[in-house]
Structure 1
Amino acid sequence: MNPATIASDAPTRLSLRIHPRDNVAVALTDLPAGREVAVANLRFPLADSVRAKHKFALSDLAPGDEVTMYGVTVGRATRMIPRGGAITTDNLAHATAGGDARPGSRDWTPPDVSRFAQATFDGFHRPDGSVGTANVWLVIPLVFCENRNIEVLRQCVADALGDDPYRDYKRMARGLLDGIEATADAPDEGTPSRRFPNVDGVRFLTHSLGCGGTDDDAEALCQLLAGYVCHPNVAGATVLSLGCQKAQIRMLKAAVAARDPQGLKRVDYFDQQSSPSEERLIRDALTSIFDGLASADRVTRQPAALDKLVLGLECGGSDGFSGLSANPLVGAVVDRLVALGGSGMLSEFPELCGVEHELTARCVSETVAARFAELMSAYQRHAAAVGADFSMNPSPGNIRDGLITDAMKSAGAAKKGGDAPVVDVLDYTEPHRRPGLSLLCTPGNDVESTTALAGSGANLILFTTGLGTPTGNPVAPVLKIASNSALAQRMQDIIDFDAGPIVRGERDIDELAEALLALCLEVASGRHVTQAQRLSQHDFIPWKRGVSL
């Protein structure tokens, strides 16, 4: 779907109450004070001006009254709010309330998936039985001291293959330096022929960890890197070590062996302090990369069943429409994939604060529910230890666009997980284990969370946004879904799919969910390149636990 062809967000309705139990509604356009609105069976004038995406009260609220959205408590009034009054940070505080949290107490009726009953995607079949949606060779450092050598390798490989992803920007820079503004009509130096047509490229990771932290930090890094090395989208890896750092080669080897006990994945390790020279280190690493590319190129795409597809679910730069359009749309896609035997992973634990009881009720067993409660509590303790709290999660951009409290943000963010049962709960770096919907403990930080999703085995990531964010991932394609058409038009170079017609009432979620799932299969088959892939957005940030929300 080309965002440029979508109409602007001129809503056919002025406001929307999401759930019958809600005592606030969302303005779908800027509404002046005194404007009469009709919500459900109510008709009244607004007491305040309410900006698009922000909320207003449907009844008088006294100090201490609960404010409800999505049928759950998202805050508590701190002072009197009249009917039609705007909900702001000045009159609402973060608050949550429990509910029926018995595991298995939520019924689920799978959606109709007859259209996709025979569907497949063309993926890269790995010896361990997993299937990749991409085929890359990975180059990683065990410690930040090797970042410079990683950059040397990056530039050498790009030059040798004639595959510089930034050649257009470099041409632009040369033109500007010469006083000639580069335009789309400027002569193009051409796209080099691909020497390895079955390989999607070499991915070079850098990070700031590996030494100078705790033993737990080093172990977590090795577990994360092992997840990338063993990822179904990765053909193999070249690993650079300095030698004296905390994150030792033996630790990474052990983490890889736990995921790949038969040693099916090729991994080449190089230790600089054991090498006779830097030149020899670079030569050996380049030899490993080019040999790895030749080997990876011998694997071709073949049809795969949808039970091999694992969707990572992420949101970033959310706005007041995200929970109305893009997030429930992604949830509808996940429900369809789960019904077809596939999997989804819902991340960002700070953005599940306030809806824990809803997710607990969807857990398939007491064991799964207990793991969720345990990890949520541990995360909150880690955050408290550094003076943070989940209530601090909404960013200034979120608040400016109507997401006033963490619970309000969470209620909309959790919609990405659809309604399917929760079959598993994973701690950070733990690999995906069971088909169905899993919860993955990550921070709300966009890049840390997408990094973790890929590390746990997501082979395609759906990323919703209302404000726009250029995040991508080195190994897993990232598909961006805009919550509103204005964003889809304004940032066409980063948006892949527009959920704005849902807000305008022009198309329903079920209709767009089938279109988005079909696009997912095109991306998984390599027939559609996402904007993040096209722009070479290969973001990678490991999480230092307890520091990040």
Structure 2
Amino acid sequence: MDKNRQPYVLIHPKDNVLVALRDLPQGEIIDFAGLQFPLAHAVAAKHKFTINAMLKDDEVLMYGVLVGKLNYDLPQGELITTDNLRHAAEGYQLGERKLAWEKPDVSYFSNKTFNGFHRSNGTVGTANHWLVIPLVFCENRNVLTLKSALEEKLGYQIESKDYSDKVDELIAKYQNGASVDELLQVDLSSAKQNRQSKRLFENVDGVKFLNHDMGCGGTRMDSDALCGLLAGYITHPNVAGATILSLGCQHAQASILRNEIAKRDPQFDKPLYIFEQQFEGTEQELMQKAIKATFAGLTIANQQTRQPAALNKLCIGLECGGSDGFSGISANPALGYLSDMLVTLGGSVILSEFPELCGVEQELSDRCIDVPTANKFMELMTTYNAKAEADGSGFYMNPSPGNIRDGLITDAIKSAGAAKKGGTSPVAAVIDYPELANQPGLNLLCTPGNDVESTTAEVAAGANIVLFTTGLGTPTGNPITPVIKLSTNTKTFEKMPDIIDINCGTIIDGQESIEEAAHRILDYVIEVASGNELPKAVQLGQDDFIPWRRGVSL
């Protein structure tokens, strides 16, 4: 950290708490805005403390908004905790349009391009995948059978550590009478490496096998939403074609899927093969047809090659998970600046996780391009929170134990920092799950805060790159869209280099500005979009895919 930099920061001029940038000991003298006072208790990095003495029920402000109210009186320099602060957020109503914003300088990027896969509907993919998807969970085993038959032979098995020889070593030691302590001392670090064989189809980045536990037995709303989600993946610019396995009798019918595909792409012309087990008869007949069709489809997909595309063909999903007290002052605002750059260039960004927009509804609704869009956003937020409240778990219960431990002690604190990913541009559209986000500019997509459910939905909405900030570290990826992981702090980046791509802790350390970090991130995005760089989640084969059941998920 820059030694000349104060070890604490005021995020917004209206705020009445400071955020510690490093661990501060009890008694450390704080010198801020003409005030000098000692800390009443030690304050760990990422946590907050009072600037002045405050009374019970006083409002605590961060990011310029209400994030909680005090449970009892606090002296000057006191640590903010879950014991002394409770969740509180401002109400919201339809207000005046506030659409003015300062566009960033994008001259450096104005003539840059990426090499992508151009689709007939005008979209451009950052990858070229083939999908194998079950319409219902009954077909999951058959999908895995296809995976077993195709993945390794076609060269798509992920290069990874193979611990099987080390398990053999453990077995041998156990059989020779080794104690528990001796077994725990076995070194597994020298496990052999599985090598990825050369791909047969060089222009196809992967064959992705997506299992799920939906399609029947739940509500018709959920099965219809599943068909919409799967249609979003099939029509996605990163997908060349798909093989669909259906049982035949389930709620999620092939006809519904076809209708959802037509909604998203009326002139859909990708190879699509749908097989129903109850029609085909034996599993052998089903597998034979599915394998031959998939192989034939891959030969078609392999004919496509990367070609230059303008940056306005990028649609970036904005995501966070394992957030901490630095998320809202490093990685998230860096993504916000990048979002404003991409919007200025004519591209699209998607901000989701509606439970993590609690407390900033007024600002976002005021930024909506028109009144109907603002009303749609407020209605979705109100309905979602009311459903959560009815089930005994409102938005206020969103922060996880890890979030709280690292400084996000109310949902409003977490939300105010999370919303920074969306930048300052007007909200061009509000999208309900699992609709398509097809408007240039900032799109708000209704999803849970659950990392994988939200990322899954953003990709279905059209994101061809996902930027994912994390303070605590998370391996989350996606089967078809590259997920780039950005650390909010240097400690996590250095501790987990196998899953994190970019360090934004440089902002906290005083090594670069938010604008400089955003430029560095967008340069990397272009390399990933062109296939020149593979994010860690792609390298690890972190193909997380969880459809959202439209019940309560925070």
Q: Aligned partners of 2:476, 2:375: CA distance in 1, in Å?
A: 33
Equivalent position of 2:14 in the other structure: 21
Are the aligned partners of 1:312 and 1:461 in contact in 2 as well (CA < 8 Å)? yes
Structure 2 unmatched ranges of 5 or more: 173-185
1:31-180 to structure 2, matched below 5 A, reads 31-98=24-91, 102-165=95-158, 168-170=160-162, 172-178=163-169
The one-letter amino acid paired with 1:76 is K
Match of 2:280 among 275, 279, 299: 275
Task: Map Cα deviations across residues 406-428 of structure 1 (whole Å, 9 max, x no partner).
Answer: 00000000000011111100001
Change (3 A) 1:186 1:255: closer
The one-letter amino acid paired with 2:286 is L
Equivalent position of 2:237 in the other structure: 232
Change (3 A) 1:222 1:9: farther
The one-letter amino acid paired with 1:214 is T
The one-letter amino acid paired with 1:47 is A
Q: Does 1:298 align with 2:303?
A: yes
SS in 1 for 2:141: helix
1:449-488 to structure 2, matched below 5 A, reads 449-488=454-493
Are the aligned partners of 1:138 and 1:238 in contact in 2 as well (CA < 8 Å)? yes
The one-letter amino acid paired with 1:429 is P
Q: Aligned partners of 2:4, 2:414: CA distance in 1, in Å?
A: 22
SS in 1 for 2:263: helix
Q: Aligned partners of 1:175, 1:400: CA distance in 2, in Å?
A: 36
**Number of residue pairs matched by the alignment:** 540
Q: Aligned partners of 2:527, 2:65: CA distance in 1, in Å?
A: 36
The one-letter amino acid paired with 1:348 is E
Displacement of 1:13 after TM fit?
2.7
Q: Aligned partners of 1:521, 1:390: CA distance in 2, in Å?
A: 35
SS in 2 for 1:323: helix
Are the aligned partners of 1:9 and 1:486 in contact in 2 as well (CA < 8 Å)? no
Q: Aligned partners of 1:399, 1:209: CA distance in 2, in Å?
A: 32
Equivalent position of 1:442 in the other structure: 447
TM-score (norm 1): 0.95
SS in 2 for 1:368: helix
Are the aligned partners of 2:30 and 2:38 in contact in 1 as well (CA < 8 Å)? yes
Change (3 A) 1:85 1:113: same
Displacement of 1:155 after TM fit?
1.3
Equivalent position of 1:3 in the other structure: none
Equivalent position of 2:182 in the other structure: none
Displacement of 1:36 after TM fit?
0.6
Displacement of 1:43 after TM fit?
2.1
Change (3 A) 1:213 1:51: same
Q: Once structures 1 and 2 are overlaid, which stretch shifts more, 322-331 or 153-162?
A: 153-162
The one-letter amino acid paired with 1:234 is V
Change (3 A) 1:101 1:418: farther
Change (3 A) 1:187 1:85: closer
Are the aligned partners of 1:110 and 1:335 in contact in 2 as well (CA < 8 Å)? yes
Q: Aligned partners of 2:491, 2:191: CA distance in 1, in Å?
A: 29
Q: Aligned partners of 1:483, 1:141: CA distance in 2, in Å?
A: 37
Equivalent position of 1:505 in the other structure: 510
Equivalent position of 2:181 in the other structure: none
Displacement of 1:184 after TM fit?
7.8
Change (3 A) 1:182 1:266: farther
Equivalent position of 1:308 in the other structure: 313
SS in 1 for 2:262: helix
Q: What is the root-mean-square deviation in Å for CA atoms of aligned residues?
A: 1.8
Displacement of 1:174 after TM fit?
2.5
Q: Does 1:202 align with 2:207?
A: yes
- Give aligned-pair identity as a percent: 55
Q: Does 1:357 align with 2:362?
A: yes
Match of 1:525 among 524, 527, 530: 530
Equivalent position of 2:175 in the other structure: none
Displacement of 1:168 after TM fit?
3.3
The one-letter amino acid paired with 1:64 is D
In the TM superposition, structure 1's runs of 4+ consecutive aligned residues that sit over 6 Å from their partners are 8-11, 180-187
Displacement of 1:367 after TM fit?
1.4
Displacement of 1:380 after TM fit?
1.2
TM-score (norm 2): 0.94
Q: Aligned partners of 2:400, 2:323: CA distance in 1, in Å?
A: 9
Q: Aligned partners of 1:522, 1:9: CA distance in 2, in Å?
A: 30
Match of 1:266 among 247, 252, 271: 271
Q: Aligned partners of 2:391, 2:191: CA distance in 1, in Å?
A: 52
Q: Does 1:193 align with 2:198?
A: yes
Q: Aligned partners of 1:31, 1:159: CA distance in 2, in Å?
A: 53
Change (3 A) 1:546 1:14: same
Are the aligned partners of 1:312 and 1:460 in contact in 2 as well (CA < 8 Å)? yes
Structure 1 unmatched ranges of 5 or more: 1-7
Q: Does 1:537 align with 2:542?
A: yes
SS in 1 for 2:414: helix
Displacement of 1:186 after TM fit?
7.1
Equivalent position of 1:5 in the other structure: none
Q: Aligned partners of 2:93, 2:262: CA distance in 1, in Å?
A: 42
Are the aligned partners of 1:352 and 1:413 in contact in 2 as well (CA < 8 Å)? yes
Q: Aligned partners of 1:42, 1:380: CA distance in 2, in Å?
A: 40
Displacement of 1:10 after TM fit?
8.3
Change (3 A) 1:527 1:411: same
SS in 2 for 1:169: strand
Are the aligned partners of 1:101 and 1:358 in contact in 2 as well (CA < 8 Å)? no
Q: Aligned partners of 1:54, 1:487: CA distance in 2, in Å?
A: 17
